[in-house]
Amino acid sequence: MALIITDECINCDVCEPECPNDAISEGEEIYEIDPKLCTECVGHFKTSQCVEVCPVDCIPLDPRHVESQAELKQKYLRITGQRD
């Protein structure tokens, strides 16, 4: 499941550089996560790095983009150009 940044975002800019897949970018009002690139850090880290550094706890799972751990791993492999 991809993550999403909610309206509680304070635009502190700490999440963007933590994303190993460059899935986080500055939106019109708040930062946004591209669900095509978000793997919840599967393949890179044990926990989602943006969630770890967010000072206002505004990065929950995105119920519109449900994915299993296996699907997230496959996405990670595709994004990084690796094979299973």
Per the listing, tokens 């800019």 go with 13
Question: Is the pLDDT assigned to residue 71 strictly greater than 90?
Answer: yes
CA distance 52 to 47: 8
pLDDT for res 1: 83
The domains found in the chain, sorted by start residue, are 16-80 (3.30.70.20)
pLDDT for res 3: 98
pTM assigned to the model: 0.92
CA distance 22 to 56: 21
How does pLDDT run across 6-63, given as a tens digit for each residue? 999 999 999 999 999 999 999 999 999 999 999 999 999 999 999 999 999 999 999 9
